[in-house]
Amino acid sequence: MRISIVIPAHNEVSYLKDCLDSFASQTYLPNEVILVDDNSSDDTFKIAQSLAKQHDWIKVLRRKSIDEHIPGKKVVDTFNFGLEHTSEYDLIGKFDADIVLPPNYFELIVNQFQANWKLGMCSGLLFIKKGDDWVYENIADKSHIRGPIKLYHKACFNKIGGLRPGAGWDTVDTLLAKYHDFDTLTLPELKVKHLRPTGHGYSSKNYQIKGVAMYKMGYGIVLTKIAALKMAWQAKSPSLYIQAVLGYLKAFFQQQPKYVSKKEGKFIRSFRWKGIWSKI
């Protein structure tokens, strides 16, 4: 199976070499890795070019964009920029530049895609350094395919219409995959090192963006409150809950465009409620 990987990168000088070295050490090499430098102010582009000279399957592109951090949208826009330069592929990956893969990462995942024709998305799990140990980055269920290590089958990627350019893109894609009757799978034996742990350093404006994303995914106000409460608990930030709900209400009254159709939204709400009731 032909694998194309797109890595959006912004100021990744501290992590990039370790990341790309882990790709080069794979027992099943990807056919191409396209690294897109998104307006970096450090030596990210220079380091990427140096590594590309050692491996002809690494391509380096530069994208100019604004400096403002726009959660979700900037990374998806950068990914889509790289996607336009991919060759023919069977599996398309969106990976971050601050991860280190185990050597058998793509080998085991390709085996899963070849064994199950309904498999639409697959990944390992993210681990962060705590003291001398690497522990699971516990900000999502272990069944959830995290944004930094997503691998899609082309049929699934096309069916869901690619990635939504905004916050929540890495949740709505899995929900739409299930809507279209694709399986999703995480392999716990594939432990991926996340060199820069996911932070909750959101401003109140960005907390509101989480609520906007839930509106756009068709959650409804009750599901939004439950999801916001869970995030606030994990982040130990009561303001996250308040701002997320405010963001949802703002998007609702403005009738902002959604990521999903009415039919898809109905499926997503039903799927989420089933997950909640199964844990009670």
User: Secondary structure of the chain: what % helix, strand, coil (to 5)?
Assistant: 45, 20, 35
Q: Give the DSSP per-residue string, 38-93.
A: ES-SSSHHHHHHHHHHH-TTEEEEEE---SS--TTHHHHHHHHHHHTT--S-SEEE
Residues 77 and 163: their CA atoms lie apart, in Å, by 9
Residue 67 in tokens: 């400096």
Residues 115 and 128: their CA atoms lie apart, in Å, by 30
- 49 close to 229: Cβ distance less than 8 angstroms: no
Q: State pLDDT tens for residues 147-178.
A: 999 999 999 999 999 999 999 999 999 999 99
Angle between helices 204-216 and 221-235 (to 10 degrees): 140
| Residue recorded with tokens 């009750």 | 222
* pLDDT at res. 65: 79
Mean pLDDT within 16-31:
97
In 3-state terms, what secondary structure has residue 216?
A: helix
Say yes or no to pLDDT of 139 above 80: yes
* pLDDT at res. 258: 96
Say yes or no to pLDDT of 27 above 90: yes
Say yes or no to pLDDT of 243 above 60: yes
Beta bridge partners of 95: 149
Beta bridge partners of 32: 4
* pLDDT at res. 279: 82
* pLDDT at res. 201: 44
Q: Give the DSSP per-residue string, 128-181.
A: EEETTEEEE--SS-TTS--TTEEEEEHHHHHHTTS--SSTTHHHHHHHHHHHTT
Q: State pLDDT tens for residues 50-100.
A: 999 999 999 999 998 776 667 789 999 999 999 999 999 999 999 999 999
